[in-house]
């Protein structure tokens, strides 16, 4: 229900109000009260019904309500018809040729334009907002003889009557009453909606796990929520917040106009991350500021939960471009190409031999892309049989097949939504499954096995293969249209034998890892032992080199591995790179490796000074 109380200054208005209310379709939703008021007076507060949501009154009475009561007030706004009716009464009753209209702005606005309706009548309007000046104004009108009759509200009518001056009461018609009721109902509805929003907002503020404090330009606390109150105490309103904050210059922050975000400071005995936001006023100046803060340990707990959850599912990229070791020309070109690919959102096909580091590049591309905060889902297409691969990729509903999980299961494409899915060994996917995969790429939607409902997805695909897909297409083992969809952007990861100069750095990194894992104690290799390593073809590429480092850590008993340790760790299947005439770059790389990266010793063996060596190393990408 909406409670509306009408202040009625004359008897005739009551019947108009009742008549309009009875004709409204929403009458049953309105609880109405009509109180008779005297000129210049308000009814006692105890006479106003407690269920009143809004008051509707005329002229000076409406101004009194707005000045002395806390209840919202809507003013009856006179229509043009109301004023025309009063003017016509003045013509007929007093044969008036000069008419003065006196009242509040809503009564007199546009009154003089009525002369166009009655061209033989002169109309003057007098707007007055203070009833105390009314007697003086009417006395002036009467004595100056500028008017034959005065038109106005109840106050004007009574005072003019006491002076003996002709006067007509401007009555409120049905149209004005109807419009006032419409506005009253609408104002109550808006107020209730805003109150609900305010209540919800207050509930959010009170029950959020963040501390929220509002301060003025003097740093005095205007408002704080329950969390901040528990931390700082109950008597903070009106007190300065400055002594409660350590490690944050609030004076400097107030001089700026931009938010300060993510500052680490100390509040109420706890380390917190603080956001400081200036709130501009309507004039553009800053007189109020909001601070939100959260304990550092809470953020750490949340981050740990998120990371542990993602790690438990394997849906997080562990590597970036910084983890890719290699300063050779081949690796620098591969990394530069990969960085460019990360800027795009198109599908990528990575080609390279087994163990060359294709997934490392895939994860690095994801980590540098706009999807870095999304999941990274990796699946080895060669490791799963066809029927299992299909259910893993696309998911299934309950009962889709014998042994399916109760409640069904989301597929890897769904789990990779807003992120990247890495399809390793894509060339091993059977032809029937290739057709389903092609549809996913084309339509950006998946359908679980046994379901008839499609799910839109936003996933970037990075595929990898160690096979020649073009040759597989020619042999009818791989769909050409799927290849075109996958191979929008391409990257070739070079085999280790193509950047053999990176072997010392890679090997050093693997050996350090073994030491940190307490799996070995080898930290260097003698210069005689490095030669068979540099001549090996490394058919297993970086993966083989990593395995070699693990074996070397086991076989060697000292911190510096010798040639025997290396030969034993390499095993019997040693393949040497065919020897050819050594280039200057290769020679420098070989001698550097033999001297464990010492430029001074390398320069001495080459018979050049250190600055010349450095220029040549820079030229060949060796530093």
CATH assignment of the domain containing 280: 3.30.450.20
Question: What is the CB-side half-sphere exposure of residue 570 using CA atoms within 13 A?
Answer: 23
| 303 falls within a domain | no
Q: Are residues 484 and 601 in the same domain?
A: no
pLDDT for the residue 111: 73
Last residue in a domain, options 130, 158, 188: 188
Q: Are residues 94 and 141 in the same domain?
A: yes
Q: How far is CA 532 from CA 475, 565, 582, in A?
A: 40, 11, 16
Which CATH number characterizes residue 121's domain? 3.40.50.10660
Report the 10 Å Cβ neighbour count for 518: 7
Q: Is the CB of residue 493 less than 8 Å from the CB of residue 352?
A: yes
pTM: 0.48
Q: How far is CA 1 from CA 53, 189, 253, 391, in A?
A: 9, 10, 49, 57
Q: Tokens 């010492």 sit at which residue? A: 598
For the chain, the C-alpha Rg in angstroms (whole number) is 43
* pLDDT bracket for residue 307 (50, 70, 90): very low
pLDDT for the residue 572: 60
Q: Minimum mean pLDDT among 41-55, 91-105, 127-141, 357-371: which range?
A: 127-141
* pLDDT bracket for residue 541 (50, 70, 90): very high
Q: Are residues 382 and 468 in the same domain?
A: yes
Q: Are residues 340 and 469 in the same domain?
A: yes
The tens digit of pLDDT for each residue in 325-347 reads: 998 899 999 999 999 999 999 99
Q: Tokens 């400097």 sit at which residue? A: 252
pLDDT at 524 over 60: yes
Q: Is the CB of residue 469 less than 8 Å from the CB of residue 483?
A: yes
Measured CA angle at 17 (ends 14, 21), to 5 deg: 140
**What is d(CA 416, CA 410) in angstroms, rounded to the nearest whole number?**
10
Residue 414, classed as helix, strand or coil, is helix
Which CATH number characterizes residue 480's domain? 3.40.50.300
Q: Are residues 456 and 348 in the same domain?
A: yes
Dihedral over Cα of 528, 534, 535, 538: its sign: positive
Q: Is the CB of residue 76 less than 8 Å from the CB of residue 177?
A: yes
- Nearest alpha carbon to residue 225 among 195, 204, 200: 204
The tens digit of pLDDT for each residue in 220-240 reads: 998 888 888 888 876 888 889
pLDDT at 94 over 80: yes
Question: Exposed, middle or buried by CB within 10 Å (0-12, 13-18, 19+), for 356?
Answer: buried
List, in sequence order, the alpha helices (H) in 243-348: 250-255, 296-313, 329-342
pLDDT for the residue 83: 87
User: DSSP letter string over 212-245?
Assistant: EEEEETT-BEEEE-HHHHHHH-S--BTSBSGGGE
| 194 falls within a domain | no
The arithmetic mean of pLDDT across residues 249-256, rounded, is 88
pLDDT at 308 over 60: no
Q: Are residues 324 and 436 in the same domain?
A: yes
Q: Are residues 281 and 410 in the same domain?
A: no
Domain extent at residue 345: 314-492
Q: Tokens 């080898």 sit at which residue? A: 522
Q: Are residues 542 and 481 in the same domain?
A: no
Q: How far does Cα 492 stand from its chain's mean position?
A: 37
Total domains in the chain come to: 5
Of residues 251 and 607, more confidence is placed in 251
Q: Are residues 348 and 445 in the same domain?
A: yes
Which CATH number characterizes residue 24's domain? 3.40.50.2300
List, in sequence order, the alpha helices (H) in 125-173: 134-144, 154-163
| 20 falls within a domain | yes
Q: Are residues 521 and 477 in the same domain?
A: no
Q: Are residues 382 and 471 in the same domain?
A: yes
Q: Are residues 590 and 568 in the same domain?
A: yes
Q: How far is CA 152 from CA 80, 97, 159, 170, in A?
A: 14, 17, 10, 5
| 288 falls within a domain | yes
pLDDT at 6 over 90: yes
| 43 falls within a domain | yes
Over pLDDT 70: what percentage of the chain? 93
Both tokens of 291, joined, read 């601070």
Both tokens of 491, joined, read 């990257």
The arithmetic mean of pLDDT across residues 197-224, rounded, is 81
Which CATH number characterizes residue 560's domain? 1.10.8.60
Tell me the average pLDDT of the chain.
Answer: 85
Last residue in a domain, options 473, 492, 511: 492
Residue 309, classed as helix, strand or coil, is helix
| 392 falls within a domain | yes
Both tokens of 444, joined, read 């950006």
Last residue in a domain, options 298, 328, 351: 298
**What is d(CA 544, CA 509) in angstroms, rounded to the nearest whole number?**
14
| 322 falls within a domain | yes
Query: What are the φ and ψ backbone dihedral angles of 7, each rounded to 5 degrees?
Result: -95, 115
Residues written for the chain = 623
Both tokens of 13, joined, read 């208005």
pLDDT at 579 over 60: no
pLDDT for the residue 405: 67
Range list of β-strands (E), 299-444: 348-351, 376-380, 395-396, 409-410, 420-424
DSSP state for residue 107 in the 8-state scheme: H
Q: Tokens 């609880």 sit at which residue? A: 31
Over pLDDT 90: what percentage of the chain? 30
**What is d(CA 126, CA 105) in angstroms, rounded to the nearest whole number?**
9
Q: Tokens 């339509």 sit at which residue? A: 443
Beta bridge partners of 561: 525
pLDDT for the residue 258: 87
| 196 falls within a domain | no
């Amino acid at each position: 229900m909406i409670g509306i109380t009408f202040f009625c200054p004359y008897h005739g208005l009551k019947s108009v109000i009742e008549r309009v209310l009875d004709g409204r379709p929403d009458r049953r939703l309105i609880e109405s009260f009509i109180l008779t008021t005297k000129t210049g007076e308000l009814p006692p507060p105890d006479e106003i019904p407690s269920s009143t949501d809004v008051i509707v009154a005329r002229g000076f009475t409406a101004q009194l309500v707005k000045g002395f009561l806390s209840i919202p007030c809507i003013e009856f706004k006179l229509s043009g018809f109301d004023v025309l009716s009063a003017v016509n009464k003045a013509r007929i009753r007093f044969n008036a040729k000069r008419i003065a209209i006196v009242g509040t702005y809503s009564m007199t606005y546009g009154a003089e334009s009525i002369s166009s309706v009655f061209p033989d009548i002169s109309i003057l309007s007098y707007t007055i907002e203070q009833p105390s000046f009314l007697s003086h104004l009417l006395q002036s009108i009467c004595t100056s003889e500028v008017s034959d009759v005065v038109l106005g509200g109840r106050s004007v009518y009574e005072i003019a009557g006491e002076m003996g001056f002709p006067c007509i009461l401007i009555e409120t018609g049905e149209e004005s009453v109807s419009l006032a009721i419409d506005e009253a109902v609408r104002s109550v509805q808006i107020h209730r909606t805003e109150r609900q929003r305010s209540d919800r907002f207050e509930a959010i503020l009170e029950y959020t796990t963040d501390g929220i404090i509002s301060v003025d330009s003097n740093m005095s606390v205007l408002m704080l929520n329950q969390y901040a109150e528990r931390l700082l105490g109950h008597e903070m309103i009106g007190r300065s917040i400055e002594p409660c904050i350590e490690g944050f210059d609030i004076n400097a922050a107030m001089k700026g106009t931009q938010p300060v975000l993510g500052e680490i400071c100390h509040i109420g005995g706890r380390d917190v991350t603080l956001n400081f936001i200036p709130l501009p006023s309507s004039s553009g100046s800053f007189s109020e500021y909001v601070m939100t803060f959260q304990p550092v340990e809470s953020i750490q707990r949340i981050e740990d939960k998120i990371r542990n959850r993602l790690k438990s599912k394997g849906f997080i990229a562990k590597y970036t471009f910084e983890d890719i070791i290699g300063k050779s020309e081949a690796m620098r070109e591969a990394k530069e190409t990969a960085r460019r690919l990360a800027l795009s959102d198109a599908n990528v096909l990575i080609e390279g031999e087994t163990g060359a580091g294709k997934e490392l590049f895939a994860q690095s591309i994801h980590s540098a892309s706009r999807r870095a905060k999304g999941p990274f889902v990796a699946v080895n297409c060669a490791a799963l049989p066809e029927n299992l691969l299909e259910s893993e990729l696309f998911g299934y509903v309950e009962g889709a097949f014998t042994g399916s999980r109760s409640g069904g299961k989301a597929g890897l494409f769904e789990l990779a939504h807003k992120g990247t899915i890495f399809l390793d060994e894509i060339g091993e996917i059977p032809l029937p499954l290739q057709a389903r995969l092609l549809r996913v790429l084309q339509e950006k939607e998946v359908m679980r096995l046994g379901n008839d409902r499609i799910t839109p997805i936003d996933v970037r695909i990075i595929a990898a293969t160690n096979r020649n897909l073009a040759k597989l297409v020619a042999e009818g083992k791989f769909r050409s249209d799927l290849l075109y969809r996958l191979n929008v952007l391409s990257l070739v990861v070079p085999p280790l034998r193509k950047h053999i100069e990176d072997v010392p750095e890679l090997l050093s990194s693997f050996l350090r890892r073994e030491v940190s894992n307490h799996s070995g104690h080898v930290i260097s290799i003698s210069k005689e032992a490095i030669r068979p390593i540099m001549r090996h073809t490394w058919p297993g590429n970086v993966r083989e080199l990593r395995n070699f480092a693990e074996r070397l850590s086991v076989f060697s008993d000292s911190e510096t591995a010798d040639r025997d340790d290396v030969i034993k760790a390499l095993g019997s299947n040693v393949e040497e790179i065919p020897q050819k005439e050594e280039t200057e770059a290769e020679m420098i790389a070989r001698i550097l490796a033999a001297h464990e990266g010492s430029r001074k010793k390398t320069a001495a063996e080459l018979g050049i000074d250190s600055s010349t060596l450095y220029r040549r190393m820079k030229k060949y990408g060796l530093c």
